[in-house]
Amino acid sequence: MSTAIDTPAATTEEVTAQGKAKAKRGETLTGWAFAAPFAVLFVLFLVIPALYGLYLSFTGETLTGAGSGLVGFSNYADALRDPDMWKSLGNTVWFTALSTIPLIVLSLALALLVNLGLPGRWLWRLSFFLPYLLASTVVVMFWSWMYNPKLGLINGVLEQFGAGPVAWLQDPKVAMFSVVITTLWWTIGFNFLLYLAALQNIPEQQFEAAALDGAGKWRQLFSIVIPQLAPTTALLVTLQILASLKVFDQIYMLTNGGPAGTTRSIVQYIYESGFTGYRFGYSSAISYLFFALIVLVSLAQYKLINRRSAA
């Protein structure tokens, strides 16, 4: 750019290029101005705390500020040797596996059902989506009463059929499944809605053409609907895995991590180490280990999706 100015006999072409560059710079500035309100908040409340957390993870910082000196990697070493950390990480992965698959498959099934055009379609749509709008506290209230081993609705119904009482939230073998069922009921509405919207976007002609070629409903489902939904599915799987890995609210309130720590998620362990165990440095270190895991998962997914769309 500066060479253009230095050259005494600038051609018209060069002049327009110069003007364009100027205009572009102006545009960039305007762009930054628009982004600034967000950028400031982003830096203040996300970037700085995240970096500070990284710093904390190398210190022995506690709630009272005692032992705030640098301790190198000893928090990380501690965390990797902490059986409770591994157990809660295992619980989190187990929860993610248990919840993601039904949350994708069932929400697709529900969306397909509603898309069939049954009578009272609005009612189905509403009832599948409504729980998603509830606050986690409300959801947990409902479910902890329904799961109550003595007075609960579920055991009451089971009793009618002669099935024994199940300690839904107290039996170490059952508790995680109960949490998954609650989560399923609560959050399936979001996936359902996305699938429904995607379904309604599939061009009608494709079905007509397929019908002319003699494809039945099932053939259409597997050859048109599911492939057409692939981008939505990829998006939902990504979002769902990330959401499931971050599980906290419903577990904290339903079981508080019990019985015997079988439902304690990694986020809850981070919370406990920091806020009730007072070890901020240690809890930051676990956060960063967890963060690394999330980055790995996201990268793997990104690779997978890219390869699929390239093929």
User: From CA 210, how far away is CA 207, in angstroms rounded?
Assistant: 5
Which of 155, 133, 159, 160 has the alpha carbon at shortest distance from 144?
A: 155
Say whether residue 150 binds other proteins (CB under 8 A). Answer: yes
Of positions 93, 134, 149, 207, contacts other proteins by CB under 8 A: 149
Site string for other proteins, 196-235 (x = CB under 8 A): ----------------------------------------
Torsion of CA 158, 163, 169, 174, to 10 degrees: -130
Residue 187 CB, shortest distance to other proteins, in Å, is 23
Calculate the alpha carbon distances from 286 to 30, 58, 85, 153, 275 in Å: 40, 11, 8, 39, 13
Of 18, 148, 228, 301, the residue at the interface with other proteins (CB under 8 A) is 148
- Span of 1-9, 58-66, 100-108, 188-196 interacting with other proteins by CB under 8 A: 58-66
Q: Which residues contact 228 (CB under 8 A, 6 or more apart)?
A: 198, 202, 206
Instruction: Please answer whether residues 286 and 269 qualify as being in contact, where contact means their C-beta atoms are separated by less than 8 angstroms.
Output: yes
| Nearest distance, CB of residue 133 and other proteins, angstroms | 24
Which listed residue (124, 131, 278, 305) binds other proteins by CB under 8 A?
Answer: 278
Find the binder of other proteins among 167, 184, 215, 239 (CB under 8 A).
Answer: 167
Residue 272 binds to other proteins (criterion: CB under 8 A): yes
Cβ closer to other proteins: 174 or 305? 174
86 is an interface residue for other proteins by CB under 8 A: no
Q: Is residue 151 at the binding interface for other proteins, with CB under 8 A as the rule?
A: yes
The reply on whether position 57 binds other proteins by CB under 8 A is: no
Q: Among 53, 102, 131, 259, which residue sits at the site for other proteins (rule: CB under 8 A)? A: 259
Does the protein bind other proteins through residue 256 (CB under 8 A)? yes
C-alpha gyration radius of the chain: 27
Interface residue with other proteins among 62, 115, 206, 238 (CB under 8 A) is: 62
Dihedral Cα 105, 111, 113, 116, nearest 10 deg: -140
Find the binding residues for other proteins in span 170-189 (CB under 8 A).
170, 172
**3-class DSSP state of 59:** strand
Which of 131, 144, 172 lies closest to 254, judged by CA?
Answer: 144
Kindly report each contact of residues 33-41 with a partner whose C-beta sits within 8 Å and lies 24 or more positions away, as own/partner: none
Residues that bind other proteins (CB under 8 A): 60, 62-67, 148-151, 165, 167, 169-170, 172, 255-261, 272, 275-279
